[in-house]
Amino acid sequence: MAKFLSQEWADEVRTALNNSDDVRSAIKGVQLCIQQVVTGAPDGEVKYWTKFDDGNVEGAIGEASDADVTIAQDYDTAVAMNKGELNAQAAFMQGKLKVTGNMGKLLQNQGAMQSLGPVLSSVQAEY
């Protein structure tokens, strides 16, 4: 089981998303890169990115040079979202997520983003 927010975890998430027929179908035609920033993690701030490119998912720990949006949250929020205990919309409405960048592009692809939740929560992680 990979440590949450480690490169091994990011690799497992990317593999799970790419292996999901539902996700691949939902992100067909989507061109979107999301930078995530998690503050207050046990090892300090962690940045990772996920890129959706017409049915394919890429991603890694670190910074994306071409992020469309950046989503910042604290560690507890990131854990709750990863476990499927909190969805992004609720976290945003509660002020637990800060989104900067091309909000319109993110909202345009909201349906595709919602398809990720079940797959993300299925990837086991050590917190």
The list of the chain residues with pLDDT below 70 reads none
Predicted local distance difference test score (pLDDT) of residue 19? 97
Distance between CA atoms of residues 15 and 58, nearest Å: 9
Predicted local distance difference test score (pLDDT) of residue 26? 95
Q: Is 3.40.50.300 the CATH number for 2-116? A: no
Predicted local distance difference test score (pLDDT) of residue 117? 87
Predicted local distance difference test score (pLDDT) of residue 87? 87
Predicted local distance difference test score (pLDDT) of residue 89? 87
Query: Which 3-state string (H, E, C) describes the chain?
Result: CEECCCHHHHHHHHHHHHCCHHHHHHCCCCEEEEEEEEECCCCCCEEEEEEEECCEEEEEECCCCCCCEEEEEEHHHHHHHHCCCCCHHHHHHCCCEEEEECHHHHHHCHHHHHCHHHHHHHCCEEC
